[in-house]
Amino acid sequence: MARKDDILKSFLTHELLESKYDFRKEELPNTVREALNSDKPIIKAIALIVEGLDGTSPVTDSVLRNQVTQFLNEAL
């Protein structure tokens, strides 16, 4: 498993996702690729950040910000 997937998984095991967002463990994605296709905005946003920081081509702060906020502003 790639490091970025490990990182993503450790974020997705945070209890907030279960307690506040009602996500069940079994419906959580295992890889960044899966998470990028998630229909749950917070999961996809985390995946965007992981891909931006530990993906194949890391991005700058402003690009990361644009990607994440643009996605969230449109999705919500």
The backbone torsions φ and ψ at residue 4, rounded to the nearest 5 degrees and listed phi first, read -60, -30
Taking the complex as a whole, how short is the minimal distance between the CB of residue 33 and another protein, in angstroms?
19
Q: With contact defined as beta carbons under 8 Å apart, do 22 and 42 qualify? A: no
Residue from 31, 34, 38, 68 touching another protein (CB under 8 A): that is 68
Nearer to another protein, 11 or 34 (CB): 11
Q: Is 64 in the site for another protein (CB under 8 A)?
A: yes
Select 33 or 72, whichever has its Cβ closest to another protein: 72
Cβ–Cβ under 8 Å, residues 28 and 17: yes
| Tokens linked to 19 | 């307690």
